[in-house]
């Protein structure tokens, strides 16, 4: 009966993409469900996975919207 909730920013994993693909989502679902099976012995049918995509400007890190935070970090290195 586990529920695995995956919250990520809405953006692509490669240039030009502005969101993760259906295939990447399927991999997340499969991997998370399998983890519950491998570690806890939960059958695949007992696990729900929910992926929540959050707009970049709705995600904060370091006291800043994440895009600004990344720029700040990049400037430091």
Q: Which residues make up the interface to a second copy (CB under 8 A)? A: 1-9, 13, 20, 22, 24-36, 38-42, 44-45, 47-54, 57-66, 68
Of the two residues 54 and 71, which places its CB atom closer to a second copy in the complex? 54
Query: What is the rounded CA–CA span in Å between residue 66 and residue 54?
Result: 11
The least CB distance from residue 15 to a second copy, in Å, is 12
Of the two residues 5 and 71, which places its CB atom closer to a second copy in the complex? 5
Catalytic residues: 2
Spatial CA neighbour of 59 closest among 5, 7, 9: 9
Q: Measured between alpha carbons, how far is residue 47 from residues 3, 21, 40 in Å? A: 6, 22, 11
């Amino acid at each position: 009966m586990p529920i695995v909730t995956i919250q990520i920013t809405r953006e692509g994993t490669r240039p030009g993409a502005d969101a993760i693909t259906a295939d990447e989502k399927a991999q997340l679902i499969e991997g998370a469900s399998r983890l519950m099976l491998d570690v806890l012995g939960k059958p695949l049918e007992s696990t729900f996975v929910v992926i929540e995509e959050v707009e970049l400007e709705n995600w904060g890190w370091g006291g800043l919207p994440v895009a600004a935070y990344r720029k700040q970090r990049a400037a430091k290195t």
